[in-house]
Structure 1
Amino acid sequence: MRPLPPELAKIAREELNEIPERVQEDLVILRTWIYQQRYLYARTSTDFLIAFLRRCRYSLEQTKKRIDDFFTFHTKCPEIVTNRRVTEKMLSINRLGLQYFPEFPRCSDHAAIMITRLNCCPKRYHMRDVMAYTAMGMELIALENDNAAIVGVIQIIDLSNLDVEHASQLGGGLLRKWWYWMNDCCPLRINATYCLNAPKELQNWLGVLRTLRVKMRPQFFILKSLEELYEHIPQKCLPEEYGGANGHMHECVSYMEDLLKSYRDYFEDEVNYGTVEHLRHGEIMPYEAEFGAEGSFRKLDFRIKIIEKGISYIYKYKYFHGNQVLEHYT
């Protein structure tokens, strides 16, 4: 466990209930619990478990559930997880600049920044590959970036290059599975998401959500300009390409490439982890509670249902039907 700067140690203690003298005891409890679950094959390294403890504010029960959900997802969603290898394809996706994690300076509240852009050709890189790459990056940042693990992440999504085919690839339950991973499995906490350069149709659709008073978690904001973004995130914290002073994006790409290569064996080792569901007894599988035994949603989240249908509708017909859409999907 890395020593923390005083300001981060204070946040970890006051907001996450992290007591350094008790961490080893918590790790022993988690490792013992993992070893006792016959169906669960999970990582037990110190950094990995601490990332999940911090994500769950040191609630042992919540940490157990998130770890269980994380590795159940590995077993139940091979279309995303089996692509999580440091291959030349993944490195080429990184070089496209789809995901940026600027290092310094931090946000004023010490949160880390994550910038997501759709700079890939959908004919060459399917959204499954993009999701796998993003999941790898977020997991590594949870392990390596103490600001991200303790304070959380502010996400900026730049939709400048959003294509109709990008949206079409999110069908078949893929968006729902990604939503599930982000909310129930990911070891990083997304504090807020700011969306730039969203198509007008998508802005209108999110207006429907506001009209219905649908609460988004994490908070989701559609912004019209960089100046509006600066009202939420200090300008100096952004890369120079976004008007800030936080280095260049190619530096972020180089940092992530070096990080991915250093974790090559880590991801190769993923074949040894997951769940053996027929050995699980006395409880509902986390994945099946959400998706059903055959992968179809039982407990359908109203928010993701609206978003998924909205994206499909908007990009199929390329225009917005106002009240007609609202009546059709509510």
Structure 2
Amino acid sequence: MPSIRVLDDALQRVAIEQLNEQPARLAADLEALRTWIKQQPHLRARTDDQFLVAFLRGCKHSLEKVKCKLDKFYTLRTQFPEFYTIRDVDSQRLHELLRLGVGLWLPQPLHGNGPRIIYVRTGCYAPDQYRFEEIMGLSHALSSLSLQYDDYAVVHGYVTLLDFSDYSAAHLLQMTPSVLKKMAVFAEQAMPVRDKGRHMIHTNAVFEKGFNLMKSVLPAKQRERISVHGSNLDSLYAHIPQQYLPSHLGGQQGSIEQLKQLNWQTFLERRDYLRAELNYGVDEQLRTGDKPIDYNSAFGVEGSFRLLNFD
């Protein structure tokens, strides 16, 4: 029997009906993946059942898709470690950034048994003190925990709520085309957790000026998942009922301070897992067969939104 958490009946039903899961085949599929990983001299990947089953479920149990995503997952993390990983879980600067609570994972999934909700406070950090790459490195590292520990995210995916309160021109200028492409490529090609929608609230003039340029960089599938609600929370409630929001938005998911503390406690409990992530990656000199994607060329030059007029 695979060494994985037993899903509750509702999650298991979704895994079978929507993700093509056949419980009787899990052990054989997991062993096939482990065998394939061992045959890849360039790839150092986690091989425990719980990690691999997240990729199986996220790829609807297509072994070929899993192989492709696993390779890209570790290739991107190796080529751009500052953007996709945490290099030092004991860094005081990292701890300060984590305590700001830029991205908060809400404790109750949507409808109590659906996608995980991530609440992102886009303007809560000082852009003259932190680079956006640092924000994303922390975000991607914490997202990787969902593969190991969050069955709701693995089975149902996640819904992202982006709050643009206090969002400024200085924040927008950090969102270069290259940064946006790095975010989009990893979400689409490497992470096996499904994006079930992005909802943007409290948008302002700065956001509006950059939004069309941002959309031009994103793949069509990701653009289609974006909903802009502005200050119309009634519009948001049609997608995320009010009770599943943080308390300052009228919900029952806790205050910002409570959510910060919950995320901090999660980090403390699982930082050994994050520390061990440094053991995994790729060595391109050992890769056989097809050449790897040249992500530096794919992401292009940094560029910026500096030509925008923010007056």
Quick check: TM above 0.5? Answer: yes
Normalising to structure 1: TM-score of the pair? 0.83
Aligned partners of 1:137 and 1:256 also within 8 Å: no
- Which 4+ residue blocks in structure 1 deviate beyond 4 angstroms? 204-211
Counterpart position of 1:97? 101
Distance 1:240 1:78, change over 3 A: same
CA RMSD between the two structures: 2.6
Counterpart position of 1:128? 133
In 2, the alpha carbon distance for the partners of 1:313 and 1:267 equals 35
Distance 1:247 1:78, change over 3 A: closer
2:61 to 58, 61, 65: 58
Question: Deviation string for 1:257-279 (max 9, x for gaps)?
Answer: 22212222222223321111122
Secondary structure in structure 2 of the residue aligned to 1:312: coil
Q: State the one-letter code of the partner of 1:2.
A: R
Distance 1:77 1:266, change over 3 A: same
The answer to whether structure 1 residue 85 and structure 2 residue 85 are counterparts is no
Distance 1:82 1:234, change over 3 A: closer
Aligned partners of 1:30 and 1:60 also within 8 Å: yes
Counterpart position of 2:45? 42
Question: Deviation string for 1:84-139 (max 9, x for gaps)?
Answer: 43233223222212111112253377111111112111122211110011112211
Q: State the one-letter code of the partner of 2:21.
A: E
Q: CA deviation at 1:201?
A: 5.1
1:127-166 equivalences in 2 (<5 Å): 127-166=132-171
Q: State the one-letter code of the partner of 1:106.
A: L
Percent of residue pairs bearing the same amino acid type: 29
Secondary structure in structure 1 of the residue aligned to 2:305: helix
The answer to whether structure 1 residue 255 and structure 2 residue 262 are counterparts is yes
Q: State the one-letter code of the partner of 2:141.
A: M
Normalising to structure 2: TM-score of the pair? 0.88
Aligned partners of 2:210 and 2:305 also within 8 Å: no
Gaps of 5+ in 1: 320-330
Q: State the one-letter code of the partner of 1:185.
A: A
Q: CA deviation at 1:187?
A: 3.3
The answer to whether structure 1 residue 107 and structure 2 residue 111 are counterparts is yes
Distance 1:188 1:84, change over 3 A: farther
Aligned partners of 1:107 and 1:113 also within 8 Å: no
Name the count of aligned residue pairs.
Answer: 302
Gaps of 5+ in 2: none
